[in-house]
Structure 1
Amino acid sequence: MLILLTGGAGYIGSHTCLELIRRGHEIVVLDNLSNSSRESLRRVQEITGHTIALHVGDLADPEVVREIFSTRRIDAVIHFAGLKSVSESLRNPLKYYQTNLGSTLALLQQMESYGIKKLVFSSSATVYGDPCGLPSKEDSPIGIALSNPYGRTKSMIEQILQDAAFADPLLSIAALRYFNPIGAHESGRIGEDPKQEPNNLFPYISQVAIGLRPKVSVFGGNYPTIDGTGVRDYIHVMDLAEGHAAALEYLKPGFDAYNLGSGCGASVLEVIAAFSRVSKSAIPYDIVAERPGDVAASYADVSKASRDLKWTTSRSLEVACRDAWAWQSANPTGYVDNG
């Protein structure tokens, strides 16, 4: 298939490009490069030996999307584009609603105009909020008492997609509710390269280990967890990429949601300890106040993805630490081209 990846130059998008090419698909990427780099796609091309067509532009601009759809026979879309920081969404909620909802609506309108009926949406486990029971299942309530605008935009988009699929029985849509992506490609050539201060734990740990930052701030030490720190379901980014490819190839008419995760949780201190072992360096940290919008624990029931998509994770936390350290060690300041 010829697949459009919105936000495809980013961390998860670039790894998914690599996996889709490995499976024989052709790739077109639309990205405004606000939190990504041309260099990531250049390196994917280097690894795979295949060309990726990159269109630099804003998904919310209908002319940009129209140019792609009118000149190429796109078979399916994987929609990664959007803002993704919980903390930033609390500070600037209108920006998140306008960007995440507006870009999705613009994409759906252009897909409808050009008769494109297959869509995989990069959703998030934040739609479960503070779960009333663990592990979170796809039929668990979503969108209820969510603690941050980022999670609300993901939940709202899922509702929009359900309504669109109900109105058009030819639409095939999968929403992938994934948890905490970590690691990098085993080559060390592509990985996570946040342009601002990292919002996620793993790149922050990596930057402390390489000496770019003095220590890790652990937000909250009194949660009802194994060691008082937050517990999350961490998933290797290549496992996540394989999950997106599996969902794309499985798509059936209608709307469906799938959890992508390992099925178990690890605490912040457990992750720091694992990274310390792999990097053979101490990772200094301080436990500080909890962040607004965070929950104590979140991990997935992944039996549905295993059954339908024939997908499960195959890479451990230790492997993710090894691959992330290989990336950070070889690229201490990220990609050379940050534009």
Structure 2
Amino acid sequence: MTILITGGAGYIGSHTCVELLNAGYEIVVLDNLSNSKIDSLDRIREITKKNLKFYQTDLLNKGQLKTIFSENDIEAVIHFAGLKAVGESVLIPLHYYHNNITGTLILCEVMEEFGVNKMVFSSSATVYGIQEQVPLSENLPLQATNPYGRTKLMIEEILHDVYISNKNWCIAMLRYFNPVGAHSSGRIGEDPNGIPNNLVPYITQVAVGKLSELNVFGNDYTTHDGTGVRDYIHVLDLAAGHLKALEKVMTTSGVSAYNLGTGRGYSVMDMIHAFEKVTDRKIPYRIIDRRPGDIGISYADPTKAQRELNWIAQKGLEEMCSDSWRWQSNYPNGYEIDNKEQKEQKELNVIR
């Protein structure tokens, strides 16, 4: 059984590739490498002792996407590919709408053309926007507060309409919360381009000395210490959730959303203190203004995923922090190509 993984060289995608290969699936990875590194794919092969096929292309390239489906017997798609930074989406919303929504439309068109109607979609808890209650359950009204979140919400609505038009489709939309951690080997992890948009890689880069201090965006939220509270989930738990969702879509039809989170919230200061304990280092920080579109408290009600996918998060805060630190301390500059010979060899592994 061959699964196409769009955005499979990225942070969550790469860990999900490991999960699927270890479970016996054959996988084809599509990634334009705009916010990922080809090195992650070699390390996936190293960890799993299994091979994968990789195409460096973009979902906006419909012709290349059709070639991928023509050359491979694809039975389902796990769709990660998309731009994902809340703050950046506020600055360049048209780019986010075009990339995320148009790319998904093209993907669905090609899937229909080739008779592939099983999808696991990478959605986000940002679709909930600002709610008066927590934890957040799947039946709450959706009201995204930033362009990134709105692209995820619009895609969810599109996928509902796709199913209404063709009841053979089965789609699991995974609304996950705040992924952290890395593979326990320390060989793959989160390697953002430039200054990190997410809290944990920012903390680890400060701890390793790559950045001088952490910016804490606001300390006037109605939380126990004034800083924002989020539901942090280990990336390996998240990857396992994608495998469970894939198993479900392969055996049924319909469209449904699932929260993937731990059901517990930690503040920014909680995370700083946890990392200080794990690393035995002080994490310098400064308080600055809130970011546009940010909310105060967000954590999941994960009971639907437990009930319908037989999935539950297993890893706690200390393991999230220690695995993140193992990756960052082993590879302070993330994925690197050491010399020209290695770069040329890696380029030979890309199907264009």
With the shorter chain as reference, the TM-score category is over 0.9
Q: Distance in 1 between matches of 2:260 and 2:145?
A: 21
CA displacement 1:161-218 (0-9 Å, x = unmatched): 0000111000000000000000000000000000121000000000000000011010
Aligned to 2:245: 247
Aligned to 1:61: 61
Aligned to 1:288: 288
1:4 is the counterpart of 2:7: no
CA displacement 1:270-297 (0-9 Å, x = unmatched): 0010011001101011111111100000
TM superposition shift of 1:132: 2.2
Residues 18 and 44, structure 1, Cα contact 8 Å, conserved in 2: yes
Residues 165 and 255, structure 1, Cα contact 8 Å, conserved in 2: yes
SS at match of 2:245: helix
1:193 is the counterpart of 2:191: yes
Aligned to 1:139: 139
Aligned to 1:73: 73
Aligned to 1:225: 223
Q: Distance in 2 between matches of 1:333 and 1:28?
A: 27
TM-score by length of 1: 0.98
Q: Distance in 2 between matches of 1:84 and 1:183?
A: 18
Q: Distance in 2 between matches of 1:241 and 1:105?
A: 24
TM superposition shift of 1:112: 0.2
TM-score by length of 2: 0.95
Please, what is the CA RMSD of the aligned residues? Answer: 0.9
TM superposition shift of 1:262: 0.4
Aligned to 1:121: 121
The amino acid of 1:117's aligned partner reads N
Q: Distance in 2 between matches of 1:331 and 1:117?
A: 39
Q: Distance in 1 between matches of 2:60 and 2:138?
A: 29
Aligned to 2:303: 303
TM superposition shift of 1:2: 0.7
SS at match of 1:235: strand
Aligned to 1:112: 112
Q: Distance in 2 between matches of 1:20 and 1:131?
A: 34
TM superposition shift of 1:100: 0.3
TM superposition shift of 1:138: 0.6
1:167 is the counterpart of 2:165: yes
The amino acid of 1:193's aligned partner reads D
Q: Distance in 1 between matches of 2:245 and 2:195?
A: 32
TM superposition shift of 1:131: 1.5
Residues 6 and 79, structure 1, Cα contact 8 Å, conserved in 2: yes
TM superposition shift of 1:306: 0.3
Aligned to 2:278: 278
Aligned to 1:22: 22
Aligned to 1:149: 147
Q: Distance in 1 between matches of 2:245 and 2:284?
A: 39
Superposed, 1:196-207 pairs within 5 Å as 196-207=194-205
Runs of 4+ in 1 over 6 A off after TM superposition: none
TM superposition shift of 1:120: 0.3
SS at match of 1:30: strand
Aligned to 2:346: none
Q: Distance in 2 between matches of 1:300 and 1:257?
A: 13
Q: Distance in 1 between matches of 2:38 and 2:292?
A: 33
Residues 263 and 302, structure 1, Cα contact 8 Å, conserved in 2: yes
CA displacement 1:278-337 (0-9 Å, x = unmatched): 011010111111111000000000000001111000001110100000000110100013
1:88 is the counterpart of 2:88: yes
Q: How many residues align?
A: 337
Q: Distance in 1 between matches of 2:267 and 2:310?
A: 28
The amino acid of 1:160's aligned partner reads I
The amino acid of 1:336's aligned partner reads E
Aligned to 2:235: 237
The amino acid of 1:230's aligned partner reads G
Q: Structure 1: which 5+ runs fail to align?
A: none
Aligned to 2:331: 331
The amino acid of 1:99's aligned partner reads N
Residues 38 and 337, structure 1, Cα contact 8 Å, conserved in 2: no
Residues 37 and 337, structure 1, Cα contact 8 Å, conserved in 2: no
CA displacement 1:231-278 (0-9 Å, x = unmatched): 000000000000011000012311100000000100000001001100
The amino acid of 1:245's aligned partner reads L
SS at match of 1:123: strand
Q: Distance in 2 between matches of 1:58 and 1:64?
A: 8
Percentage of matched positions with identical amino acids: 55
